[in-house]
Each structure stands twice: as C-alpha cells, then as structure tokens.
Amino acid sequence: MPENFGWIHHYEAGSGDLTLLLLHGTGGNETSLLQIGRDVAPTANLLSVRGRSLDEGSPRFFRRFTDIRYDQEHLKSEAAALADFVKQAAAHYGFDASKVVALGYSNGANIAIASLIRHPDVLAGGVLWRPVMPLEHPDPVSLQGKPLLVTLGAMDHYRKHADDLLSYLKDNASDAQIEEIPTGHQLTRNDLILTQSWLRQHFPG
C-alpha cells in the first residue's frame, strides 16, 4: 500500500506545528501510545508507527539476539527506513518535517536514539522512556540543538544497561535532561508529567 510508505501507521492531525513520532515498546502497535501522546501534547500532530520486526509474534522495531544484544545491521537499516518514512509522511500529510520529536518507550526509545544518532537531520529532539544504547560503538555525532528527555526506572532490570547511553549523551548531547524515577520498567504518571513539562519548555505551541 503506497500510502503506508512501507510502515503500518496511524496519523492524527493536531492544531499545532509539533509532530510527535510515537514508537511503542515490544508487543505494542500503532495504537498503543496515541492517548498518551494526546495527553502530553494536546495540540500536536501524532504519527504513530508499528515496528516491522516480529519477536515471537510481538511487533518490535528491530531484531534482537538476547534482551540486550541486537542485530546491528537490522537496527541500522530499520533506523534508515524509519527516517525515510518520516520524510515521506511529512510530505504526504503536510506537517513540518523540521518539528518532529520522537516519543518512544523501551524498544521504541531504542529505535528513536538509533535514528537520531544515524540520521540527526530527521528529528528535532526526543523523549526516551526506559532506553538503553542499542548501537554498538556508535560514531560520535553532535546532537547540539536536539533536546532530549531520558527517563529511567531506578528498579528497572534494564537500568544498568543504560549507562553506555548516558555516557554517550554526556559527550555528544548538550541538552539532555536525565531523570531517574523510583519505579521499574513500566511507564508511570511521573514519566508523563515530566514529558508534558519538557515539551512545553522546549516545543511550546
């Protein structure tokens, strides 16, 4: 279906000029984050995408060998395809391609940061809920001018694997806000409050 540009997705136009690229966690789909996206950014356009990889029948954004070891070539090719999709969707739906912010949870947060590192021109910033660094030996890239919000769960079993990402952001991202919440891997109300406040600060209107 050409209108899908190779990705199952859902688009909702808002009244503002910000577009949230919604990227679900493992087992989610293009509907999983729609209400949350509307809650944290009531006027934003919502572009929600379903991952194209299947893990025991559950949609993901790239293949994995273990919980924390990923198929690097597939990850890079899907990050490139997602970047192309965003450009095509902007032209098709008529939203401003320079004002697209990723909002990703877990596996969705990981494809978001991989896309931002590999294709920094495609995203204006990102909200990463419970991410790790998915890329092995990522090249340094300036993320200056790309605001990022990272929320981690202090009791999340993936938390210790986020240190490589935090180190990378310390060296390459001048505007990264890191928040650690006393919870596990699941999303909480605190994540949404932080996200809503961060979006208002960095992408008002």
Single out the catalytic residue among 9, 24, 115, 156: 156
Architecture of domain 9-202: 3-Layer(aba) Sandwich (3.40)
Q: Is 142 tagged catalytic?
A: no
Annotated catalytic residue: which of 32, 48, 106, 115?
106
Per-residue pLDDT of the chain (205 residues; tens, 9 = 90+): 457 899 999 999 999 999 999 999 999 999 999 999 999 999 999 999 999 999 888 999 999 999 889 999 999 999 999 999 999 999 999 999 999 999 999 999 999 999 999 999 999 999 999 999 999 999 999 999 999 999 999 999 999 999 999 999 999 998 999 999 999 999 999 999 999 999 999 998 6
Active site residue 106: yes
- Residue ranges covered by each domain of the chain: 9-202
Taking a C-beta distance cutoff of 8 angstroms, is the pair 48, 37 a contact? yes
Reply yes or no on whether 174 is catalytic.
Answer: no
pTM for the full predicted model:
0.96
- DSSP H helical segments within 121-188, as ranges? 163-172
So what's the pLDDT on residue 205? Answer: 67
pLDDT of residue 1: 45
Question: What string of DSSP letters covers 63-111?
Answer: -BSSSS-B-HHHHHHHHHHHHHHHHHHHHHHT--TTSEEEEEETHHHHH
